[in-house]
Amino acid sequence: MTTDFLSLDELKQKIHALIAGLYPDSNPEQLTRACFDAIGPRLNKDVVAPERLWSERDTLLITYGNSLREAGHKPLDTLQNFLHEKLQGTFSAVHILPFFPHSSDDGFAVIDYTQVDPELGDWDDINALAQDFKLMADLVINHVSSQSLWFRNYQYGKDPGRDYFVEAAPNYDLSNVVRPRTSPLLRKTDTADGVKHVWCTFSHDQVDVDFRNEKVLLEYLRIIGRYLDEGAQWIRLDAVAFLWKELGTSCIHLRQTHDVVKLVRLLTEYKNAHALLISETNVPNRENLTYFGNSNEAHIIYNFSLPPLVIHALLAGDCTYLKSWMMSMPPPPVGCAYLNFTASHDGIGLRPAEGLLSEKELGEMLSTLESFGGKISSRTDAEGNAKPYEANISLFDAFKGTLNGTDKWQVERLIMSQAIMLSVEGIPAFYIHTLFATPNDYDKLETTGHNRSINRRNWSLSDLDARLSKPGGPGERVFNELTRLIKIRAAQPAFHPNATQFTLHIRPEIFAFWRQSMRRTQSIFCIFNLSDQAQELSLSDINLISTENWVDLISGQPVDDLYGKMVLQPYQNLWLTNYLGE
């Protein structure tokens, strides 16, 4: 339920109750008023029906502000121009990864949340993008840069920042803490009050803030208010699962973390009824689903299990694990949606595959990805052992071959992975390098020494133009076909993010499911040959209604014999529908 269906008094009561639970020593009435002051004046209070928050026309592009470069131009200008010239009418939303001054992790160690990195552009450039697209901005909410004003003030005992960070004694038992990294959790830091040890979930340049201090909450509400004022409409809560720290616990998914998300949602919707919260929680599937709450936490959650399962299915030529997962996935609650992706600026998360892929299947997949030039990053488990955390590889190179080795079907597998993503219940999100069939960037990997750099290439516009215009080249083939599929999808009501989805059972080589529009005017049978061999399909297996005319949206070919057989070529995609528009 959005705040537009609540009276202001009801909204204040909900916020008051959350604050009383989070900060029992505070004055809830006073802190509630402070929260409203921090988020700032309302921008939009129009009532938005849940089914209108998004539609089949919504597709998200994920990009760094400097993924594209052109001499003499600001990167954000270059991005804006490229979107207009090459992707006009293709994407409705753009996620610009952290565009703030930063000290490491390609933006995720934020020095100043209120400024745009001058190497990228300025707020006017962000505003311009927000005029043309639904803009997603990152709220890096768990940690700040060690070079930030807050952390420098912490070291000198000054405000703001003096009490903004989590301290722990180095001899305290922290073995229960869940970590996504292998670096030591605590950083030894000299301060005006002597040596302290501060909490660093990710790296020692990314120091965790202490949300147990209500002043930290108010700081981040002010930041959200600023982003919304600058035109952002979607707010991505980065690494939010680790937000609240309680010694003696796992410090992940704590009740207080979920309550902070509820609080942020209420205030964000109050500020702008069209604004959406997206949770970024790269964790096992069941844990990830908890961030919907009772339709009162994130509007959208990343479908983190999709990337490893799609990659495994295409490398193995077998949909068994992908199909089992899909059958187990609940429809999102009313007013909520999944964000589907297969590649991102990070690696391919492996924790979301826990309990879904066996150790044997996972090991075979990782060995194959390493043979294709990928790297494997690790985390430390509760016993202190290093465990695979993510695979670092460009999605294009992840499909160089199968578990049996390299072959000639790399482009076809990449396109199929995106066709599956476009078809599955939810909002599709494309990492910009997937559109270009960008290969592994070994030069950047060598320069930075960070595994994730392998999939964070910075294209010069001239080199990219050459790649996309080379007839028959992978860049041209992938870019043209993916943009074509996106535009086809946008006209299909059965691809609404919340339209019905039903898994079909054919055989391991053929992944298939059915989508039906919310008004039941359209059905689409999504069928994918995951193998490098032609596969015969009996149309009786999918039970097409004989009183209607059916056509494949992708090829444009009609289905002439509803009781006959079709031969699917290696890695062929089908969108069989009974609806060609009004």
Tokens 């086809």 -> residue: 488
Mean pLDDT score, 154-180: 96
Task: Please write the tens of the pLDDT for every residue from 102-112.
Answer: 999 999 999 99
| CA distance linking residue 573 with residue 63, whole number of Å | 26
pLDDT at 548: 82
CB atoms near residue 14 (< 10 Å): 17
Q: Is the pLDDT confidence value at 1 over 50? A: no
Annotated binding site: 105, 143, 236-238, 345-346, 452
Tokens of 335: 């007013």
Query: Alpha helices, DSSP H only, in 319-391?
Result: 320-328, 359-371
CATH code assigned to 500-577: 2.60.40.1180
pLDDT at 53: 92
> Bridge-partner residues for 339, per DSSP?
302, 427
Amino acid, single-letter form, for residue 380: T
**Residues acting as catalytic residues:** 238
pLDDT at 3: 52
Task: Please write the tens of the pLDDT for every residue from 418-442.
Answer: 999 999 999 999 999 999 999 999 9
Task: Please write the tens of the pLDDT for every residue from 556-573.
Answer: 999 988 889 999 999 999
Annotated binding site for substrate: 105, 143, 236-238, 345-346, 452
| CA distance linking residue 412 with residue 532, whole number of Å | 10
C-alpha closest to that of 279 among 332, 238, 231: 238
Q: Is the pLDDT confidence value at 182 over 90? A: no
| CA distance linking residue 185 with residue 152, whole number of Å | 20
pLDDT band at 547 (very low <50, low <70, confident <90, very high): confident
| CA distance linking residue 253 with residue 284, whole number of Å | 12
Three-class SS string for 67-110? CEECCCCCHHHHHHHHHHHHCCCCCCEEEECCCCCECCHHHCCE
pLDDT at 580: 67
Query: Alpha helices, DSSP H only, in 157-254?
Result: 214-229
What 3-state class would DSSP assign to 128?
A: helix
pLDDT band at 114 (very low <50, low <70, confident <90, very high): very high
| CA distance linking residue 124 with residue 92, whole number of Å | 20
| CA distance linking residue 539 with residue 565, whole number of Å | 6
pLDDT at 224: 98
Residues 58 and 92 sit within 8 Å (Cβ to Cβ) = yes
Q: Is the pLDDT confidence value at 335 over 50? A: yes
Task: Please write the tens of the pLDDT for every residue from 115-141.
Answer: 999 999 999 999 999 999 999 999 999
Length of the chain: 582
**Which H or E element spans position 267?**
helix 255-271
Residues 442 and 354 sit within 8 Å (Cβ to Cβ) = no
| CA distance linking residue 395 with residue 311, whole number of Å | 9
Task: Please write the tens of the pLDDT for every residue from 343-358.
Answer: 999 999 999 999 999 9
Task: Please write the tens of the pLDDT for every residue from 363-374.
Answer: 999 999 999 999
Evaluate the omega torsion of the peptide bond into residue 160 and state whether it is cis, within 30 degrees of 0: yes
**Residues 6 or more apart from 303 whose CB is under 8 A from it?**
338, 339, 340, 341, 424, 426
Average pLDDT, the chain: 95
Residues 109 and 211 sit within 8 Å (Cβ to Cβ) = no
Strand 60-63 with 427-431, pairing:
parallel
Mean pLDDT score, 369-398: 91
Tokens 């006959």 -> residue: 564
Tokens of 250: 């796992």
Amino acid, single-letter form, for residue 256: Q
Tokens of 68: 């594209």
